[in-house]
Chain A
């Protein structure tokens, strides 16, 4: 079975600075998807970024980018120019390439932005 581990329960960063959230996973599959979801106080889960394992290029969405290291099974999220609105719980998630959208989540990292 696949597992996802987020070793940082809490992180904080100064506004406008850069922060990196860590995620590691374990799988025997070669094709899969990895995700970062953001959960603000409203509890609405919002997809931040997605990476297909067969793509070597790291995904980027505006200020959000990932460092995907397939051999190391590592998938970190970098937030550049942090903004107050980035404060939230961030969840890393894994999904097999085939089949349904059954996600395996990590424990989450609470990100605080200091003004």
Chain B
């Protein structure tokens, strides 16, 4: 079974440019989460999708970030325009919508974003 897939694995862009990160969750997983680790600090929650709906986007830093999950399958996270402080590793995670509180969360390997 394929795991959570993220691409690109690395992205280097200049300040002011746009970047789109993609996450393919495990097939059948309705829950999809985005997290990021900036500047070697703690990993922080960005948002949570249930199928195609945004369940919680309280962690989104500002309106330069736009996340979508059309059709409830893969998700994209677009940063426009990118700023230096956006550099970091962006993780995606998914889990089934089982309703049980102890469901395991599966992570991707992340996208390393460098804004120069």
Contacts and interface: CB of A to CB of B under 8 A. Distances in A.
Contacts of B14: none
Given A45-B107, A107-B41, A100 B55 contact: yes
Nearest to B95: A101
Contact of A43 (B33, B56, B105, B110): B110
A28 interface: no
B109 A91 contact: no
Interface of A: 4, 33, 37, 42-47, 50, 52, 91, 93, 97-98, 100-108
B63 interface: no
Contacts of A91: 42-43
B89 A43 contact: yes
A46 B108 CA distance: 9
B48 interface: yes
Given A44-B109, A45-B91, A101 B33 contact: yes
Nearest to B59: A102
Given A43-B110, A100-B55, A105 B44 contact: yes
Interface of B: 3, 31, 33, 35, 40-45, 48, 55-56, 89, 91, 93, 95, 101-105, 107-110, 112
A75 to B, nearest CB: 15
Contact of A100 (B44, B48, B108): B48
A104 B104 contact: no
Given A42-B109, A43-B89, A43-B109, A102 B45 contact: yes
Contacts of A108: 40, 42-43
B101 A105 contact: no
A103 to B, nearest CB: 7
Q: What are the 8 closest A-B residue pairs judged by CB atoms, nearest first?
A: A45-B107, A105-B43, A43-B109, A107-B42, A43-B110, A105-B42, A44-B109, A101-B105
15 contacts: A43-B109, A44-B3, A45-B91, A45-B93, A45-B110, A97-B101, A100-B31, A100-B56, A102-B45, A103-B35, A105-B42, A105-B43, A105-B44, A106-B42, A107-B41
